[in-house]
Amino acid sequence: MSSRSIFTRSRLPILSIAAGLALPLVVSSGCIGKRGSRDRMAAKQGKKTPAKADPAETKAAKPTPAGIDVAGMVGERSQVQFKADDPAKGAKAPLVTIVEYSDFECPFCGKLSTTLNTLVDEHKDDVRLVFRHYPLPKHANAEPAAKASLAAQQQGKFWEMHDKLFANQASLSTEKIRGIAEEIGLDMKRFDAAMNDTKLTVAVNNQFGDGRVLDVSTTPTFFVNGRLVKGAKPIEEVRSIVEEEIAVAKKLVAAGVDRGQLYAEIMKVATPGSGTRPKRDPTHRRGEASKRTNYAISVADHAPVRGPTDAVVTIVEYGNFECDKCKSIQASLTKVLEKYPNDVRLVWRHFTDGSTNAQGAARAAIAAGEQDKFWEMHDALMGHDGELSFKSVVEIGKKIGLDEAKFTASMRDTSLSDRVKADEAGAEKVRGTAPAPFLWVNGRIIDSRDDPTFAEIDALVAEEKGKAEAFLEENSVSKGELYEAMRKTWRGYKLIEQAEGR
């Protein structure tokens, strides 16, 4: 994966269409995705979109034979469409069509892939499998892997690439994906050209958008003749579902439905879902972090904290002691902590933006922290009006009661600069071009360029507090585990972990 910010990836709109129903979330057998985490790919309108007919199924559509109650025979179904050129394997005139939404970096998708391959082999004449892409934002390599599979499809080798990607899903770097392409015998010039073609990005984004309309939120999610199933179910359970659907399909054929029209007939009576494509944020700057998305901002072990460690809302402040806005925003942050003494914690992380004095002040704050006086130093530096020279920082250290010899020795320790760099490395993956200070309220950015007021910060805290409390109710985690548990479902998790060396 490139070291560039994740916000430099394509933001082309999602245009394809589908609809469906959703059932309760299956956490134990799938990867969780959060709504809003791909807002950069949103369509211009957030309206519900009626499902389009599948061109592969309807180009020779026939009227439903008179007297056949298809809806009564099949029951409740989701209206799941796909395209004629979507990768498919199995029966040419199937009794059962499985449409799978999957992510090459999701371990549960890998397990389900083995299951579905087995069932297609067992029912070669009756079951068709259609693969569709739903790369979760938290999986950094899932979208490039999806594009690679489509690039391989252009050379007639989708399923070879599909199997290799799942077999190597723990290490899907750019180099590894190219290595797989070479291994399966692709023309590498064509492959590289395809990987750089925005058309593949559009195709992946379109399918992700179709999943959103279908209320897909976890991977894998699959539909068996429109019957929704979530998670990597055991093969016995999936086999039972498939065999039940084969039996229903045979009854439809016996009643007079053309076998070649089975899926189209079921989709005629299926129920469109309630999912919508997200509206584009009109305030969003191209290349910047979306204000609607939760990003997996970390709380490093060494990071200073104010407030309860088991708070439901974590504000991570990236700042430096030289910038005026960093100083002016402190009053609002203090008011937030006072308003939510049991629910909000403030975490400080350094972002010096290359300033020599800011870097020196950061080392001073870290050195003061070694004497358990980080926040005293923080407040003194924020209140200092003059230049932050070495001499002035040492004087501040004296005023707050630091051991001067120990403090100055620590200030000269080059490892403190490594701590500052570690803070900045994670921020660089997600900030876009936001200057210090920038805040993350449970991973939602507040950009100082917007001159946020206390009321605006407070409103976001209240919103994220409600979401965090709902997460606590829905998942078996303690308050002390809450932030990390949520963070793993947010965007950029792996990128930030890698950048910060975890």
> Which is more confidently placed, 24 or 392?
392
Residue count (the chain):
502
Closest CA to 207 of 85, 78, 106, 58: 85
Q: Exposure of 290 by Cβ count < 10 A (0-12 exposed, 13-18 middle, 19+ buried)? A: buried
Mean pLDDT computed over every residue of the chain:
85
Residue 492 structure tokens: 């950029």
Q: How far is CA 82 from CA 56, 131, 306, 432, in A?
A: 8, 9, 51, 35
Residue that is written with structure tokens 């040419």 in the block: 92
Q: Are 116 and 100 in contact (CB under 8 A)?
A: yes
Closest CA to 319 of 427, 177, 186, 458: 427
Same topology between domain 18-36+44-138+212-269 and domain 305-499: yes
* pLDDT tops 50 at residue 37: no
pLDDT at 315: 98
Q: How confident is the model at residue 90 (pLDDT cuts 50, 70, 90)?
A: very high
Domain-wise residue ranges, the chain:
18-36+44-138+212-269, 305-499
Residue 3, amino acid: S
Q: Which of 53-62, 294-303, 405-414, 464-473 has the lowest average pLDDT?
A: 53-62
Over residues 283-293, the mean pLDDT reads 71
Spatial distance between the Cα atoms of 237 and 416, rounded to a whole number of angstroms: 55
Over residues 422-438, the mean pLDDT reads 87
Q: How confident is the model at residue 484 (pLDDT cuts 50, 70, 90)?
A: very high
Residue 361, amino acid: A
* pLDDT tops 80 at residue 92: yes
Q: How far is CA 225 from CA 130, 176, 245, in A?
A: 11, 35, 7
Closest CA to 304 of 390, 223, 362: 362
**Chain segment 318-352, per-residue pLDDT in tens:** 999 999 999 999 999 999 999 999 999 999 999 98
State whether the Cα torsion 220-112-489-42 is positive or negative: negative
Domain 305-499 is in which class?
alpha beta
**Chain segment 188-222, per-residue pLDDT in tens:** 999 999 998 888 988 998 899 899 888 898 899 99
Spatial distance between the Cα atoms of 454 and 462, rounded to a whole number of angstroms: 12
Over residues 423-444, the mean pLDDT reads 89
CATH superfamily name and code, 18-36+44-138+212-269: Glutaredoxin (3.40.30.10)
Which range of 21-25, 137-141, 148-152, 294-298 scores highest in mean pLDDT? It is 148-152
Spatial distance between the Cα atoms of 241 and 112, rounded to a whole number of angstroms: 14
Task: Say if strands 313-319 and 344-350 run parallel, antiparallel, or are unpaired.
Answer: parallel
pLDDT at 1: 38
**Chain segment 220-263, per-residue pLDDT in tens:** 999 999 999 999 999 999 999 999 999 999 999 999 999 999 99
Q: Structure pTM?
A: 0.53
Chain centroid offset of residue 224 CA: 26
Those residues with Cβ within 8 angstroms of residue 432's Cβ, 6 or more apart along the chain or in another chain: 5, 7, 285, 287, 288, 289
pLDDT at 394: 93
Spatial distance between the Cα atoms of 21 and 271, rounded to a whole number of angstroms: 7
Q: How confident is the model at residue 62 (pLDDT cuts 50, 70, 90)?
A: low
3-class state of residue 242 by DSSP: helix
> Which is more confidently placed, 453 or 419?
453
